Structure 1
Amino acid sequence: MQQFFTTLLAGLTLGAVYAAFALALCLIWRSTRVVNFAQAPMAMVTTYVALEVIDHTGSYWFGFAVALLAGLVLGAVVERGLVRFVEGKSDLNVVILTLGLFVVLHSLAAIVFGQDYKSFPAPFGLRGLHVAGHDIAITGFGIFTLIAVAVVFGLLVALFRFTDLGLKMRASAFSPEVARLLGVRVGKMLTLGWALAAVVGSLAGLLVAGGNLVFPQFMDSVVVYGFVAAVLGGLDSPAGSVVGGLVLGLALSFVSGYAASDLVPITALGILVLVLLVRPGGLFSHVAERRV
C-alpha cells in the first residue's frame, strides 16, 4: 500500500509538470492555431536565464520572475522576428520554422551556457513531508508545482472565457480577416499569444528544473510527454491539458513503478496512438455551433 501511494503522488507531481507544458501548447494553439515545437528549448533558455540571475543575486524568486519576463520577451521576439514572415502561408512553413528554431536554440545554449550539468535550486524542500507522525511521499516543491499548474489553468480559463482580450485572441486565430474587419489588431493578438505561451512554457521549465540538473537538452523529453498530454486532453482545451497531463503522469508513474522504466516511452506512444485512433481531437474535444 505504501508503494501504491508513493507511486500515486509521484505520478501526480510528474503529471502536473506535463500539464504545465501542455497548457503552454494549448495556449499557443488557441491563440494562433500553431503547434510550437520550439516551446521546450525556449523554456530551457529562460531557465538558464533564471539560473544566472539566482547565481548572481542569491534570490530564487527574483530569478523566477526574470525567467517569466524573459519568456514573455522571447515569445514576442520569435513571433515578430521570425513567425510573422511565414504567417498566412502554408501551415507546414510554421512547423518547419519551429523545428529549425528547436535546433538553433539548442546550439546557442550550448555555446553560451556550456554543455556541463548545473544544479538548479528549489524554493521549497525536496524531502517528503512528515505529517501527524506519517511520512507522505510528496515534497514541498511538489505541492508548489500542483498549485502553480492550478493557478495557470484558472488564469487561462478566465482569459478565454471571461475577457474581451481572450475573445480577440481567439478571433484572430480562427478568422483573422473577419477579426480585422471588426477592428481587432490581429498582429498584436498573435504576438501576445506567442508571448503568453512562452511565459507558461518558462514556468514549465522552472518546475522541471527545480532541485534537478539542467543542461541544454533537459527539456527534450518533456516536450514529447507534454505534447502527448495535450493531444490526450485536446489541444483546444485547457481542462483537457491538465487532465491529460495528470492522466499521463499517473500512467507512466505506475508503469515505471510496477513494471519497468524502459516501458515508459512505449506506453506514452501507445497512449498517443490510441487517442488518435479513437478520439483524434482529444478526450475533451467537442464540436459546437458558434453564434455571434
Structure 2
Amino acid sequence: MERFVQLVVDGLATGSIYALLALAIVLVHRATGLINFAQGSMAVFSTYVAFAFVQSGLPVWLAIVCAVVGSFVFGAFVERVVIRRFEGGSHDVAVVVTVGLFVLLAGLSGTIWSYNHREFPSLFPLESVSVGGAHVGLRNLGTIVVTILVMGLLQLLFLKTKLGLALRAVSGAPTSAALSGIPVGRMLMIGWGLAAALGAVGGALVAPKLFLTPSMLDFVLVYALAAAILGGLDSPVGAVVAAWFIGVAENLAGGYIPFIGDDLKIAVPMALMFLILVIRPQGLFGRKQVVRV
C-alpha cells in the first residue's frame, strides 16, 4: 500500500508540472483560438530571467514574482508585435509562427545564458512528510497545491469575471465581440500575457527538479499538449485532471507492469488517451461545437 501511495503522489506531482503548461496552452486557446507551440520556450526564457534575479541576490520567491510580472509584459509584447500580424489570416500560418518562436527563444536562451546545465533553487523546502506510509517531498506537495490554486483561479476568471467572459467572447466570435464594444486587441494581449506568466510559474517549479537548460521543457511540452487535448482545449479543470491522469498512469504502469518499466511507461497513458479521444473527441471536459449550416 505504501508503494501505491508513493507512486500516486509522485504521479500527481509530475502531472502537476504538465498541468501548469497545459493551463497556459488552454488559456491562449480560449483567448485566441490558437495552440501556442512556443509556450515551453517562453517559460524557459522566463525561468532564466528568474535565475538571473536570484544570482543578483534576490530571494527566490521575489525573483519568481519579478519573472512572472516580466513574463506577462513579454507575452503581451509577443502578441502585439508578432502574433497579431497573422491573427487575421489562416490559423495554420499563426501556428507555424509559434513554432518559429519556439526555435528563436530556445536559441536566444542558449546564446544569452549558454547551454550548460544550471541549478535553480527550490521555492519549497526539500524535506519530506509521511502520507499513508509513503515519504512525500514538500516540493511535490507544493507543486500540487500551486496547480490546484492556479486551476481554481483560472476557472473563476473565465466563469465569474467580466474579463474572463470578454476573453471567451473574443475567442468564440471576435467580430461580434468587437461590435459589442469589447476591445479585441487588448483582450488578446491580456490572454497571451496571462499565459506567459503562468508558464513562468511552471518553469520555476520544474527547474529545481531538472537542470535549467534551454531545452528543459521540450519533452514536458509534449505531455502538456496531450493533457490539454485530452482534457478539452476550453477547460482548465479538464487540462489539470488529464495531466494528473497521465502522470499517475505512467507511474503506476512503470511500477507494476514489469515489461514496461521506465522506458515504455509513457505508452500506457498515451494509449488510454487515444481510446478516450476515439470515444469522446472533444476531450474529457470539452464541449461539442454545434455549427449551423
The TM-score, its normalising length taken from structure 1, stands at 0.93
- 8 Å contact 1:10–1:137 — kept in the other structure? no
Offset of 1:199 from its aligned partner?
Answer: 1.0
- 8 Å contact 2:123–2:205 — kept in the other structure? no
Distance, in Å, in 1 between the alignment partners of 2:222 and 2:261 is 19
Distance, in Å, in 2 between the alignment partners of 1:135 and 1:269 is 30
User: Is 1:253 aligned with 2:254?
Assistant: no
Offset of 1:125 from its aligned partner?
Answer: 2.3
SS at 1:117's partner residue? coil
**AA aligned opposite 2:141:** I
- 8 Å contact 1:172–1:186 — kept in the other structure? yes
Offset of 1:130 from its aligned partner?
Answer: 4.5
Distance, in Å, in 2 between the alignment partners of 1:148 and 1:234 is 21
Distance, in Å, in 2 between the alignment partners of 1:229 and 1:60 is 29
Distance, in Å, in 2 between the alignment partners of 1:109 and 1:199 is 17
SS at 1:214's partner residue? coil
- 8 Å contact 2:44–2:216 — kept in the other structure? yes
User: Is 1:231 aligned with 2:229?
Assistant: yes
| Post-superposition CA distance 1:173-201 (Å, at most 9, x none) | 11111111111110000111110011111
- 8 Å contact 1:225–1:268 — kept in the other structure? no
- 8 Å contact 1:30–1:173 — kept in the other structure? yes
Partner of 1:104: 104
Distance, in Å, in 1 between the alignment partners of 2:249 and 2:286 is 21
Distance, in Å, in 1 between the alignment partners of 2:168 and 2:130 is 45
Percent identity, aligned pairs only, is 38
Offset of 1:210 from its aligned partner?
Answer: 2.5
**AA aligned opposite 2:280:** R
- 8 Å contact 2:69–2:197 — kept in the other structure? yes
Distance, in Å, in 2 between the alignment partners of 1:70 and 1:271 is 38
| Post-superposition CA distance 1:141-170 (Å, at most 9, x none) | 111111111111111111111111111111
121-130 or 24-33, which deviates more: 121-130
Distance, in Å, in 1 between the alignment partners of 2:61 and 2:226 is 30
**AA aligned opposite 1:117:** H
Offset of 1:21 from its aligned partner?
Answer: 1.3
Partner of 1:50: 50
Distance, in Å, in 1 between the alignment partners of 2:221 and 2:272 is 15
Contiguous gaps of at least 5 residues in structure 2? none
- 8 Å contact 2:19–2:240 — kept in the other structure? yes
Distance, in Å, in 1 between the alignment partners of 2:133 and 2:114 is 39
Q: After the TM superposition, which residues 95-174 of structure 1 pair with which residues of structure 2 at under 5 Å, given as runs? A: 95-130=95-130, 136-174=134-172
Distance, in Å, in 2 between the alignment partners of 1:60 and 1:135 is 31
SS at 1:138's partner residue? strand
Q: After the TM superposition, which residues 66-81 of structure 1 pair with which residues of structure 2 at under 5 Å, given as runs? A: 66-81=66-81
CA separation of 1:135/1:3 partners in 2, compared to 1, >3 Å: closer, same or farther? closer
- 8 Å contact 2:75–2:192 — kept in the other structure? yes
SS at 1:129's partner residue? strand
Partner of 1:279: 280
**AA aligned opposite 1:76:** A
**AA aligned opposite 1:60:** V
Match of 1:243 among 238, 241, 244: 241
The TM-score, its normalising length taken from structure 2, stands at 0.93
Offset of 1:230 from its aligned partner?
Answer: 0.9
- 8 Å contact 2:40–2:218 — kept in the other structure? yes
Distance, in Å, in 2 between the alignment partners of 1:269 and 1:4 is 21
| Post-superposition CA distance 1:91-128 (Å, at most 9, x none) | 10111000111111111111101010001111222242
Q: After the TM superposition, which residues 180-259 of structure 1 pair with which residues of structure 2 at under 5 Å, given as runs? A: 180-258=178-256, 259=260
Contiguous gaps of at least 5 residues in structure 1? none
